[in-house]
Amino acid sequence: MPKIMNRLLVLLLPIFIVGCEIENDNRIGLGMKVDFLVTSECMKSTIEHTQNLITNGSSFSFELDEYEVNLTMYEQTDIKTSFEIDIDGQHLDEDIGVFYRKTDALAKAFKNSIIKHCSNKNGI
Protein backbone atom coordinates (compact mmCIF):
# COMPACT_ATOMS: atom_id res chain seq x y z
CA MET A 1 0.00 0.00 0.00
CA PRO A 2 2.77 2.56 0.70
CA LYS A 3 4.09 2.20 -2.88
CA ILE A 4 0.69 3.08 -4.28
CA MET A 5 0.45 6.13 -2.01
CA ASN A 6 3.93 7.28 -3.01
CA ARG A 7 3.08 6.98 -6.70
CA LEU A 8 -0.18 8.79 -6.19
CA LEU A 9 1.60 11.61 -4.36
CA VAL A 10 4.21 11.85 -7.12
CA LEU A 11 1.43 12.22 -9.69
CA LEU A 12 -0.59 14.73 -7.67
CA LEU A 13 2.31 16.86 -6.46
CA PRO A 14 2.76 18.77 -9.76
CA ILE A 15 -0.96 19.57 -9.79
CA PHE A 16 -0.76 21.02 -6.29
CA ILE A 17 2.37 23.00 -7.12
CA VAL A 18 0.80 24.55 -10.23
CA GLY A 19 -2.37 25.32 -8.26
CA CYS A 20 -0.33 27.16 -5.62
CA GLU A 21 1.95 29.01 -8.00
CA ILE A 22 2.79 32.54 -6.92
CA GLU A 23 2.13 35.14 -9.57
CA ASN A 24 5.20 37.10 -10.62
CA ASP A 25 4.99 40.84 -10.23
CA ASN A 26 7.23 41.99 -13.12
CA ARG A 27 9.96 43.42 -10.96
CA ILE A 28 13.63 42.52 -11.02
CA GLY A 29 16.81 43.66 -9.29
CA LEU A 30 20.22 43.16 -10.83
CA GLY A 31 23.66 43.70 -9.37
CA MET A 32 26.26 44.97 -11.81
CA LYS A 33 29.86 46.09 -11.77
CA VAL A 34 32.33 47.70 -14.10
CA ASP A 35 36.09 47.62 -13.75
CA PHE A 36 36.68 51.37 -13.52
CA LEU A 37 35.60 54.34 -11.45
CA VAL A 38 32.17 55.75 -12.26
CA THR A 39 31.53 59.02 -10.50
CA SER A 40 28.02 60.09 -9.53
CA GLU A 41 28.33 62.97 -12.00
CA CYS A 42 29.13 60.63 -14.88
CA MET A 43 26.30 58.29 -13.88
CA LYS A 44 23.93 61.25 -13.81
CA SER A 45 25.08 62.48 -17.22
CA THR A 46 24.57 58.97 -18.61
CA ILE A 47 20.94 58.88 -17.49
CA GLU A 48 20.00 62.56 -17.94
CA HIS A 49 18.13 61.80 -21.16
CA THR A 50 15.62 59.67 -19.23
CA GLN A 51 12.30 60.90 -17.92
CA ASN A 52 11.53 61.95 -14.35
CA LEU A 53 15.13 61.78 -13.11
CA ILE A 54 15.41 62.10 -9.33
CA THR A 55 18.85 62.01 -7.70
CA ASN A 56 19.72 61.53 -4.06
CA GLY A 57 23.48 61.27 -3.58
CA SER A 58 24.45 57.94 -5.13
CA SER A 59 20.85 56.84 -5.76
CA PHE A 60 18.91 57.61 -8.92
CA SER A 61 15.27 57.10 -9.86
CA PHE A 62 14.07 57.50 -13.44
CA GLU A 63 11.89 56.06 -16.18
CA LEU A 64 13.41 54.04 -18.99
CA ASP A 65 11.23 52.68 -21.80
CA GLU A 66 8.09 52.88 -19.64
CA TYR A 67 9.78 51.03 -16.74
CA GLU A 68 10.42 52.63 -13.37
CA VAL A 69 14.09 52.24 -12.51
CA ASN A 70 15.95 52.71 -9.24
CA LEU A 71 19.74 52.65 -9.35
CA THR A 72 22.00 52.65 -6.31
CA MET A 73 25.77 52.89 -6.50
CA TYR A 74 27.43 50.87 -3.74
CA GLU A 75 31.18 50.66 -4.15
CA GLN A 76 33.33 53.18 -5.93
CA THR A 77 37.07 52.71 -6.14
CA ASP A 78 39.67 53.51 -8.77
CA ILE A 79 39.39 49.98 -10.13
CA LYS A 80 35.73 49.04 -9.63
CA THR A 81 32.23 50.44 -9.35
CA SER A 82 29.32 48.26 -8.34
CA PHE A 83 25.69 49.21 -8.46
CA GLU A 84 22.24 47.71 -8.26
CA ILE A 85 19.54 48.40 -10.79
CA ASP A 86 15.90 47.63 -9.93
CA ILE A 87 13.46 47.61 -12.83
CA ASP A 88 9.74 47.77 -12.07
CA GLY A 89 7.17 46.94 -14.73
CA GLN A 90 4.25 46.11 -12.44
CA HIS A 91 2.12 48.86 -13.96
CA LEU A 92 2.46 47.33 -17.45
CA ASP A 93 0.35 44.41 -18.58
CA GLU A 94 3.18 42.24 -19.94
CA ASP A 95 3.79 38.53 -19.96
CA ILE A 96 6.60 37.60 -17.56
CA GLY A 97 8.69 36.20 -20.43
CA VAL A 98 8.38 39.44 -22.39
CA PHE A 99 9.24 41.42 -19.26
CA TYR A 100 12.42 39.44 -18.60
CA ARG A 101 13.59 39.65 -22.21
CA LYS A 102 13.02 43.41 -22.35
CA THR A 103 14.60 44.14 -18.98
CA ASP A 104 17.59 41.94 -19.72
CA ALA A 105 18.18 43.88 -22.93
CA LEU A 106 17.64 47.22 -21.11
CA ALA A 107 20.11 46.30 -18.35
CA LYS A 108 22.77 45.25 -20.86
CA ALA A 109 22.26 48.42 -22.93
CA PHE A 110 22.41 50.55 -19.79
CA LYS A 111 25.68 48.95 -18.69
CA ASN A 112 27.14 49.42 -22.19
CA SER A 113 26.09 53.07 -22.06
CA ILE A 114 27.95 53.50 -18.76
CA ILE A 115 31.02 51.82 -20.23
CA LYS A 116 30.85 54.07 -23.29
CA HIS A 117 30.35 57.35 -21.37
CA CYS A 118 32.31 56.80 -18.16
CA SER A 119 35.21 54.52 -19.03
CA ASN A 120 38.72 55.85 -18.42
CA LYS A 121 39.53 54.68 -21.93
CA ASN A 122 37.30 57.45 -23.25
CA GLY A 123 39.14 60.11 -21.29
CA ILE A 124 36.35 60.73 -18.80
Reported as a single tens digit per residue, the pLDDT across 7-66 is: 655 665 566 555 555 555 789 999 999 999 998 889 988 888 888 899 888 899 999 889
> Burial letters for 14-31: b for 16+ Cβ neighbours within 10 Å, e otherwise?
eeeeeeeeeeeebebebe
Residue 14 lies in a domain: no
CATH number of the domain where residue 91 is located: 3.30.530
How many C-alpha atoms does 108 have within 13 Å on its Cβ side? Answer: 6
Tell me how many domains the chain contains. 1
Residue 78 lies in a domain: yes
Domain containing residue 51: 25-122
Residue 10 lies in a domain: no
Reported as a single tens digit per residue, the pLDDT across 63-111 is: 988 999 999 998 888 889 999 999 999 888 888 899 999 999 999 999 9
- Helix extents (H) in the chain: 2-19, 40-47, 96-118
pLDDT of amino acid 92: 87
